[in-house]
Structure 1
Amino acid sequence: MCYTILLVDDDSILVSSISTYLSSHNFKVQSANDGDEALKKLSGKLDLIILDIVMPQINGYDLITLIQDDNKYKDIPFIFLTAKGMTKDRIMGYGLGCNGYLVKPFDPEELVAMIKNILNQYIKASSCQIVQKNNGELKVKQENVHDFTMTEIKVLKLVMRGLTNKEIADLLCCTTRNVEKYVSRLLSKTYTKNRTQLAQYGLRLALN
């Protein structure tokens, strides 16, 4: 299967180099040199986004927030590939839900390994979908669909353990507001009405 990756970085030489390397590993790469161009290229099938943080006009943080506002692309996994390697920068990245954080300079083999790992986990995590019978009973329907992100799976597991949104936020190094957003998405996707039903759903999938 050929996966499509959107690569966003204002360093055109680096973009060209990474695109060539990823293409040699059978990835289809679309590239953009800034946030505006990236937003214009959000079309069709897209499996992963790799983006820099420091870019003109729209930085990486704001760009991924804009992308997540689009229901079609809100659950696409993404990797920050950046020179900003401070702990606070990583916390900010993971707070936005990034699936990987790689600091420049980097080994391209490590990038490919990270991409493959994220895509493999993402597909496994999203291989089930909840459907509701006429009598209201929930059942699990196995399908190869992109339904759950890895972050949502992590949040679901912690909800099953009875943790509060604040406790989950502390463990995942993100804000309580972000956790509330993930819980809300999970409730919608699983057709459950509250955290108790959501935890019960998780037990049905044997996620713990």
Structure 2
Amino acid sequence: MLASAFSRRTLLGMMASLPAIGRATTQHGLAAAATGVNPVLVNRALDALARHNPLVWSRDVIAIADFGLPSATPRLHLVDILTGTTASLRVTHGRGSDPDHTGMLQSFSDVVGSAATSEGAYLTGPIYTGVHGLSRRLTGLDPTNAHAEERAIVIHSAWYADASVLARQGKLGRSDGCFAVSPADIGTVLSALGEGRLLYAGRVQS
């Protein structure tokens, strides 16, 4: 069903009557497992999980992208609540969020054509094969990322997210707003962050 009718309107209307099974367990598990993740973002992810609980039907792994960190730093945190562990990988931000290519996200935007990263909660969708190979669709659940589908914001791999680019220029390249990871990491991300899970993107400004 999701593969053939994957739209924000469809998803926001799906499973609205499902009970909030295991919500407290998930909240405690996320807080305990997310070692090394900014606690402010952990709390925001928990708030997002509470707000969108009926839609997030798999809660074993929750991803938090900390765009307050530079692109050279592993900042896509895959928090495995079942094992109590967190794997952190490098991920790009959008060109429109860092026009001078400083390696630091300067601002978020959800404007179509902005090529920027959008903050907020995302629901992971099906895997598909696109121009970047195996990728995973995303649906924006908040007003700050409501145009994610229209903008084709997804998780994919890219050469400019590779460690060789980091070694050469001290920062990753930039996407058009997608969550681009190294080709060496895409299998891990797609496997760990399966369909129906929460990805929260944000930053804490100093």
Common topology (TM > 0.5): no
Look at both structures and tell me which one has the larger radius of gyration over its CA atoms: 1
Structure with a larger share of its residues in helix: 1
**Per chain length, whose mean CA-contact separation is higher, i.e. which structure has more relative contact order (CA < 8 Å, sep 6+)?**
2
TM-score by length of 2: 0.27
Greater strand content:
2
Q: If the length of structure 1 is used for normalisation, what is the TM-score?
A: 0.27
